[in-house]
Chains A and B, each alone.
Chain A
């Protein structure tokens, strides 16, 4: 008599390709056991194929299949929803010695994952230009911005996004080069958006996320701009963010 808990562990071990005594506990071995083991691999593989289509194109079938079968072994699914199964793949790639000399692989994987995150991230209310136009001169310095929950800010060491865009459109990707770039990803309505940002915009967004106010943004952006024009630059960013629907709420005191 085998305890149910033990039987389930043995069965799962079989699905995961381990050598187990499962045949002692089933009355009809074939092809049923193989059907379950194949289905396990296939379902998880399909989930990763769906989450990382361009990574597959970048690596080619042989390398991609090797990567995902290793991932399936090292990161079995811990979430009831397949939606989250692939979440550790970018980190897993970074741990692989084989990929450490090719930073684009992890960056492109992380890019694809982050686009997925924006796709079903929480929505929110959106601030409109009227909120800003009503502000008095005294209110501007303490003005704070709450940004939309789908916003993500990322920096790459390579031209991962250019390569991703080409692969996505089934075109020949450009040569892989080292190139420091900053990007934002967010969802506008139901559509996932991304664009590159200059260093000063990146910092302004990060500061806003941390709760810094308009005066503080101006102060920090003096790294890139003369004091007499820095406020104009921050207002220009603010307008851009309103157009992009990046601002959830304008908080004035």
Chain B
């Protein structure tokens, strides 16, 4: 998968269905929670189809359970594939975690020990999923609240090894890095510098609940300033990366979310333009001075 920049998106939540259709806001794409559309009909699929006619859609799952020791759920994969066939998504993503074991779903994103055994286990399963879907998937880093005694590497080394060896892409959630850095006392900059830039395909930004000694990833508040600062560093390190804001609780008006998204644009776009300007032209290209020079790997952009 080439690294494609799709611009700035928002999570598609039912609170905003009608407003999106009525006002056609300037959002480049929307991300859905895939499982919410594993249904036969009615409002969810009606609005999804209508919004899909006007916007690219990314599919983000929460129950793939790629790190589980249960067999992969074939019925789940079938649902995922038929939804992908229906909406032709720009991305299919889930989390680098496990959610179920013994046939029981926790409906939570649970961490794994960071070691070779986990990596080997997950890489095999990602290969299976990517073969089944016929495309690469993106996996997202978690917010986590415990560390396992069995871990023998940093989270970013673990994440990097998994995505490199499975040849999948990375959905880097900047807020999750911040949350985990505070909970586990590491430097978030080490994390950003420690992951393979060419595999960073998408960013999530979100708010959280800060209890001082620890932070919980609640997606119920605006993005905080330290996370914006990290996002700028990410823009420097990774170049143009499709970015969206996740909001799942304490829902604001759509225009507030849009304003927050536009803030992300104002932070990232100047950095991206500078990167484009600094691309050195090879001698043979001297007649192309007036054309736009895309930065390396950027294939496509959607604005407006």
User: Which residues from 80 to 105 on chain A have a C-beta closer than 8 Å to any C-beta of chain B?
Assistant: 80-83, 85
B128 within 8 A of A: no
Q: Digitize B141-152: 1 where CB-to-A-CB distance is under 8 Å, 0 elsewhere.
A: 000111111110
Q: A12-B104, A80-B73 are in contact. Are A122 and B150 (CB under 8 A)?
A: no
B289 within 8 A of A: no
Task: Find chain B residues with CB under 8 A from A76 CB.
Answer: 104-105
Q: Determine if A80 and B35 form an interchain contact, defined as CB atoms under 8 angstroms apart.
A: yes
Task: Find chain A residues with CB under 8 A from B183 CB.
Answer: 32
Give the A-binding residues of B (Cβ under 8 A).
Answer: 35-36, 38-46, 63, 65, 68-69, 73, 76, 98-108, 110, 112-113, 117-118, 121, 144-151, 183-184, 213-214, 216
Q: Determine if B46 and A80 form an interchain contact, defined as CB atoms under 8 angstroms apart.
A: no
User: Which residues from 19 to 41 on chain A have a C-beta closer than 8 Å to any C-beta of chain B?
Assistant: 24-29, 31-33, 35-36, 39-40
A41 to B73, CA, bound (A): 24
A119 within 8 A of B: yes
Known: A27-B148, A190-B46. 5 other contacts (CB 8 A): A8-B101, A32-B214, A35-B216, A81-B35, A149-B40
Interface centre among A77, A83, A122, A150 (most CB of B within 10 A): A77
Q: Quick one: closest A residue to B214, CB to CB?
A: A31
Q: How many residues of A contact B (CB 8 A)?
A: 46
Q: Quick one: closest B residue to A79, CB to CB?
A: B105
Give the B-binding residues of A (Cβ under 8 A).
Answer: 1-5, 7-9, 11-12, 15, 24-29, 31-33, 35-36, 39-40, 43-44, 47, 76-83, 85, 118-123, 149-150, 187, 190
- Our pick among B46, B105, B147 for the contact of A77 (Cβ within 8 Å) is B105
Q: Determine if B145 and A4 form an interchain contact, defined as CB atoms under 8 angstroms apart.
A: no
Q: Determine if A78 and B69 form an interchain contact, defined as CB atoms under 8 angstroms apart.
A: no
Q: Quick one: closest A residue to B112, CB to CB?
A: A4
Task: Find chain B residues with CB under 8 A from A82 CB.
Answer: 35, 107
A-B contact pairs, 13 of them (CB 8 A): A3-B69, A5-B69, A7-B113, A8-B101, A11-B101, A11-B110, A28-B147, A31-B214, A32-B144, A32-B147, A78-B103, A80-B99, A83-B36
